[in-house]
Chain A
Amino acid sequence: MPRGKVVTNVLAAIGVGTTDALSRWLSNFGRFWVFSGYAASFIPLELSTARGWRRLLPQCFYIGTRSTPVIMLTGMFIGMVLIVQGWAQFDAANMADRLGAIIIISLCSELGPVLAGVMLAGRAGGALTAELGTMNITEQLLALRSMGADPIRYLVTPRLVACTTLAPLLTCYANIMGTLGAWAVYAWVYGGESEPFWFYARQTVELWDVGSGLFKSVFFGAMIGLVSCYNGFHCKPGAEGVGQACTQSFVVSFILILMLDLFLGFLLNGLYAMWFGFRSLI
């Protein structure tokens, strides 16, 4: 075959492959938003019936209560390690007593929500995908439909509500434990004085810092719930299909958390600058 023909064939194959992948991605993207909108449309109905609450509360226990220890532990260690990393520099500049305030701001506005989101995606998101994926491949979703129960209303809406409402609460736990962890290392390992630690923390950390972190975590929670349920509902047959869906859930949730964090960061910082002006932390 002439070389020109080979090149043309290779380029055509790349073109077809790219178009196929793009159209698959676009149709998946569209299906995801239709799925999400449909699940969200049941929220008022679910919250206004006793049966809806009976479906919601076990999910709150599973997603929230069961995730609390691991998220508190993560928050605590992050707070501790930030003090370890920052101590030498701040101490050399004779500003060690302000280190706590900087770390608490970082925790509340960035690290707390992101890490709580990532841990939630890893612990609860993967389990949600595995549970719904198994229900899917063992015909349980079909059985629900055949009995006149909408699987999205019955299974997805309670999980979406639980993830969305509990992500901020879990973020609070991460923030509190991170702050306490940071203070513990500051006071007990490096021998810093507690009074200036808390004084500068109170003076520097604003309600906005805490609120913006919690605001972000609402979006992270909703995204984790939707991505996990969507992947469970659309997983391929077999154990391998469920495994792939779980991996995909975590990876997609993780990337979306980071992307959302960036966009919400731009938005919230812009709003802060517009409403309150510039703020110096040091």
Chain B
Amino acid sequence: MADIDHPIIELRRVSKAFGRQKVLDDLDLKVQRGKTTVIIGRSGTGKSVLLRHIVGLLRPDRGEVYFDGQRIDNLSERALVPIRRRISCVFQLNALFDSMSVLENVAFPMTENRSGPMDRRKINDLAHKCLEIVGLSGFGHKRPGELSGGEKKRVAIARAIALDPPPDVILYDEPTAGLDPQRSDAINKLIRQMQNQFNVTGVVVTHDMKCTAEVGDRVLMLWNGKFIADGTPDEILQAKDPHVRRFVLGQAEPADLVTFTA
């Protein structure tokens, strides 16, 4: 219980709306250190929006966001920099910089005011090591455009861990979206490896149930701006709530079928 009393990430009564569309509604969340928390939910329910609040890329309309006990939703971009040095993101579209090589992409967090002064050789060595961890040794000279979807995702993960010391938290936005089952499995194992090897806290946003079962220590389901389920992957798979059940089994909601049957 001690860990959950001192969560590394905490959201208190967070609400966010875009125009008239309410995305997050009085949401509370505590993320435990060293564990991987998975947030599931249908597309467009605000999972990525939630993730962006954690790293200060979006500000809540109401509520508070805390990182390691420090309130961050009211900090300026400049004041957020030290926080962001401790959080890495793997974006849904990978967000690799097209104008740079793979090695430069991976080295970027270290070169751009993240870890204080580091010499070029040390940065390159660390970037090579990160590429080796994700199984992409020898890819450093390539451009992101020359990589497959799975390779891009692995480069994005390499970039996320390319910090000295490693980040405290890695946020994964749909890490297996658009990948074939084998590559998805490789990414899932990589997420687990990050947690085991570096004791990194993971927050994964996904609608892939296989990914959820493989990487999650705790799973929450987001529905209409609120969490409607919270438990271990097994508990979620056995959940009785009709929305959770349908999501887990991949069954459409009756409202979704009206269009086809009308």
Q: Which A residues are closer than 8 A to B by beta carbons?
A: 134-135, 138-140, 142-143, 145-150, 154
Stretch at the interface among B25-33, B92-100, B184-192, B194-202: B92-100
Stretch at the interface among B6-14, B106-114, B219-227: B106-114
* B103 CB, min distance to chain A CBs, angstroms: 16
Q: Across the interface, do A147 and B57 meet the contact criterion of CB distance under 8 Å?
A: no
* B48 CB, min distance to chain A CBs, angstroms: 10
* B33 CB, min distance to chain A CBs, angstroms: 20
Given contacts A135-B98, A142-B57, A146-B55, 9 further A-B contacts (CB under 8 A): A135-B97, A139-B93, A139-B94, A140-B95, A140-B98, A142-B95, A143-B95, A146-B88, A149-B113
Q: Which residues of B contact A146 (CB under 8 A)?
A: 55, 57, 84, 87-89
Instruction: Give the residues from 74 to 97 in chain B that come closer than 8 angstroms, CB to CB, to chain A.
Output: 77, 80-81, 84-85, 87-89, 91-97
Q: Across the interface, do B84 and A142 meet the contact criterion of CB distance under 8 Å?
A: no
Q: Which residues of A contact B108 (CB under 8 A)?
A: 147, 149
Q: Which of B89, B93, B109 is close to A138, meaning CB atoms less than 8 Å apart?
A: B93
Q: Across the interface, do B95 and A138 meet the contact criterion of CB distance under 8 Å?
A: yes
Q: Which residues of A contact B92 (CB under 8 A)?
A: 139
Q: Across the interface, do B112 and A149 meet the contact criterion of CB distance under 8 Å?
A: yes
Closest A residue to B162 by beta carbon equals A147
* A121 CB, min distance to chain B CBs, angstroms: 22
Q: Which residues of B contact A154 (CB under 8 A)?
A: 112
Q: Across the interface, do B114 and A147 meet the contact criterion of CB distance under 8 Å?
A: yes
* A227 CB, min distance to chain B CBs, angstroms: 21
Closest B residue to A54 by beta carbon equals B111
Q: Interface size (B, Cβ < 8 Å)?
A: 24
Known: A142-B52, A142-B57. A148 touches B93 (CB 8 A): no
Q: Which of A134, A138, A140, A147 is close to B84, meaning CB atoms less than 8 Å apart?
A: A147
How far does the alpha carbon of A197 sit from the alpha carbon of B57 in the complex, in Å?
Answer: 63
Q: Which residues of A contact B112 (CB under 8 A)?
A: 147-149, 154
Q: Across the interface, do B89 and A143 meet the contact criterion of CB distance under 8 Å?
A: yes
How far does the alpha carbon of A138 sit from the alpha carbon of B152 in the complex, in Å?
Answer: 13
Q: Which residues of A contact B57 (CB under 8 A)?
A: 142, 145-146
Closest A residue to B84 by beta carbon equals A148
Q: 1/0 per position for B110-136, CB-CB distance to A under 8 A? A: 001110000000000000000000000
Q: Which residues of B contact A142 (CB under 8 A)?
A: 52, 57, 89, 91, 95
Q: Which residues of A contact B91 (CB under 8 A)?
A: 139, 142-143
How far does the alpha carbon of A145 sit from the alpha carbon of B95 in the complex, in Å?
Answer: 11
**Max count, chain B CB within 10 A of own CB: residue among A139, A142, A146:** A146
* A37 CB, min distance to chain B CBs, angstroms: 15
How far does the alpha carbon of A135 sit from the alpha carbon of B84 in the complex, in Å?
Answer: 20
Q: Would you list 23 pairs from A and B whose C-beta atoms are within 8 A, ordered by A residue? A: A134-B98, A135-B97, A135-B98, A138-B93, A139-B91, A139-B92, A139-B93, A142-B89, A142-B95, A143-B91, A143-B95, A145-B57, A145-B84, A146-B84, A147-B84, A147-B88, A147-B109, A147-B112, A148-B80, A148-B81, A148-B112, A149-B113, A154-B112
Closest B residue to A146 by beta carbon equals B89
How far does the alpha carbon of A143 sit from the alpha carbon of B92 in the complex, in Å?
Answer: 11
* B190 CB, min distance to chain A CBs, angstroms: 19
Q: Which residues of A contact B114 (CB under 8 A)?
A: 147-148
How far does the alpha carbon of A134 sit from the alpha carbon of B113 in the complex, in Å?
Answer: 24
* A264 CB, min distance to chain B CBs, angstroms: 35
